Chain A
């Protein structure tokens, strides 16, 4: 009894500071945001109102397109990253000369700040002096506007996300592969399965859990992409808001337009979206 009490006290002392900080940093802001969403604005002290919800949810000019763009960005980037990442991991699975050097290089995009990535690609994709258009020219391909072209900026940003984060899928898949029992695949070889059959029916099913967790983490992060969009096309998602995702939209409402009440509504929508996607994928994975 005394021992149980003491254990409880120790537990409390060890946990309380961290929990307090998390609550102060996270719970308070969320509650405050909900409250703000029902009021006119800062310090107006006005009564409960649904005006912000009406305004944001009926905004077909920027809010809904931003929601749609967030979905396209996340799904597009994630699917391509999974395909390319798993493919590359299978390619790198068996040791070869320079194996470690290749893995080391693949870490570089992941540890680089998205803002630095943005600056490098802004130069490389610069329509007039960028190396990418120059190389395309060698193959008689007309120069593209890339990030400078409102019509191309959004797909280009998806490409940049793929460049930066496909290595994460590669590393996670490689780690998963290294934990697989060799015997199962050897049995499949004995049974006469060729490489493609083994990969499709043995290796990938065994990697299922690893891939699901990787997809959840990457998917949630892709939905929250902000830095590289803001740094390349600028506030508001560039000219005509053609590259504006929900995150960039919310940031603009909060800090450029100071429409705190409306921003709160959009934030709640964003938060629910992220949470729903995370839960959905985890649930589905748990069921199967």
Chain B
């Protein structure tokens, strides 16, 4: 017998209405952003042209050509990919060791890195990086983003490695593999889905980060969120341009997120649904 009880037509249509409303509320702002990015500012303020209007590419042209957003796009890509790769190299072996030798204290440390307010770190980082003359350069930015990516990857990977059956490692040991060999030849090949989940989430979070670049970037290494912030804080906002800039930043990550939907959900819900 199924749990689903027979429902009347009224409850059924109420449920449908509720689902449609929730979906609309979530999706509408993105639709509005996209529409506005193809409008002149006169059209944006004219309700009669909300949905039917003659689209223009002027905003995109001005944002990408005049306002250097292509450079910011490349900066964002460099920083988020750099930080994710560095975090994988450092974090995955560490997560494996934590999981296999159940080091609870280190696991707590990873969690601490997840809950600590980032501003706590920024002043000392800024002082340190200026002493080393690294402020404004990619290395300092990437290092700061490792703070976002590595705990995330370690959190997801520790859970993933812990769920792999221990017998596999034992079999590897019997076949003469070293500890590190079992990691390299047995655990790592099996952990591709976990690594995908961790990397995708790390890239997304790093791509979206605002605070670190706000302090540590200069005009040549500016990432997209800070560039958009500067656009917004002008006295009179060019709304069409702003929406084009926001679309340039948002669309790639949305496409990426949709493409990797399964992994995104797995990463976002990791840890919450176990035990």
Contacts and interface: CB of A to CB of B under 8 A. Distances in A.
A106 interface: yes
A156 interface: no
Interface string B93-116: 110111001010010011011111
Contacts of A14: 93-94, 96-97, 180, 183
A238 B274 CA distance: 41
Given A25-B125, A107-B257, 18 more contacts: A14-B94, A18-B154, A22-B109, A112-B253, A113-B250, A117-B29, A118-B232, A119-B33, A119-B245, A122-B237, A123-B32, A134-B47, A179-B273, A182-B3, A213-B272, A227-B211, A230-B210, A254-B122
B269 interface: yes
B69 to A, nearest CB: 13
B150 interface: yes
B32 A231 contact: no
14 contacts: A11-B101, A14-B93, A14-B94, A19-B109, A30-B120, A30-B121, A102-B19, A104-B258, A110-B264, A111-B264, A113-B224, A120-B32, A163-B25, A226-B119
Contacts of A278: 115
B206 to A, nearest CB: 10
Interface residues of A, number: 95
Contacts of B237: 122
Contacts of B66: none
SS of B interface (majority): helix
Nearest to B46: A129
A164 B33 CA distance: 15
Given A28-B124, A210-B273, A186 B178 contact: no
A231 B27 contact: no
A120 B123 contact: no
A158 interface: no
Interface in B4-33: 4-5, 15-16, 18-19, 22-23, 25-27, 29-30, 32-33
Nearest to A137: B47
Interface of A: 6-7, 10-11, 13-15, 17-19, 21-22, 25-26, 28-30, 32-33, 36, 42, 88, 91-92, 94, 96, 102-124, 126, 128-129, 131, 134, 163, 167-168, 171-172, 175-176, 179, 182, 185-186, 189-190, 195, 209-210, 213-214, 217, 220, 223-224, 226-227, 230-231, 234, 247, 250-251, 254-255, 260, 263-264, 267, 270-271, 274-275, 278
Contacts of A163: 25-26, 29
Given A113-B250, A171-B265, A25 B122 contact: no
Given A120-B32, A121-B29, A112 B117 contact: no
Nearest to A227: B210
B261 interface: yes
A7 B179 contact: yes
B232 A119 contact: yes
B215 A112 contact: no
Chain B interface residue count: which class? 35 or more
